[in-house]
C-alpha cells in the first residue's frame, strides 16, 4: 500500500503546480485585458461641459454642403438665421442676397 501513497502524492503535487500555473496565466490575461480596455477608454472623445454634443447637420445655402451645427458659421441675413461652412460662403451669400 505505501506504493500507492507515493504515486498519489506525486500526482497531487503536479496537479497543484498545474493549478498555480493556470492562476498565473489567468492573472496575466486579465491584466492585459485591463490595460487594453484602459487604453481604449482613454481614446474616447471627451464631452465638454457635461452637455451632450449636438450632431445636428445644417445646410449651407450658398454651396449646399452639410456641416455640423456646432462647426457652422451663423449669420442673420434678411431677418433669418443661416449657417455657412466658411466665411467665404457667408460673404458670397450676402452679396447675392443684397442684389436680389
- pLDDT tens digits along 49-81: 555 555 789 999 989 899 998 889 998 888 889
Q: Is the pLDDT of residue 21 over 90?
A: no
Question: In 1-100, where do the E strands start and end?
Answer: 57-59, 66-68, 73-77, 80-84
* pLDDT at position 1: 47
Across the range 88-96, mean pLDDT stands at 89
pTM of the predicted structure, to 2 decimals? 0.44
CA distances from 100 to 9, 68, 93, 96 (A): 99, 28, 11, 7
The number of CA neighbours under 13 Å toward the Cβ of 1 is 0
Cα 21 to Cα 1: distance, rounded to the nearest angstrom: 31
Amino acid at each position: 500500500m505505501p506504493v500507492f501513497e507515493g504515486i498519489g502524492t506525486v500526482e497531487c503535487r503536479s496537479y497543484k503546480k498545474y493549478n498555480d500555473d493556470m492562476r498565473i496565466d489567468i492573472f496575466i490575461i486579465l491584466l492585459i485585458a485591463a490595460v487594453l480596455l484602459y487604453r481604449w477608454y482613454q481614446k474616447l472623445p471627451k464631452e465638454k461641459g457635461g452637455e451632450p454634443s449636438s450632431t445636428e447637420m445644417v445646410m449651407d445655402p450658398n454651396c449646399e454642403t452639410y456641416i455640423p451645427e456646432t462647426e457652422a458659421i451663423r449669420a442673420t441675413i434678411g431677418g433669418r438665421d443661416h449657417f455657412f461652412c466658411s466665411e467665404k460662403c457667408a460673404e458670397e451669400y450676402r452679396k447675392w442676397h443684397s442684389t436680389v
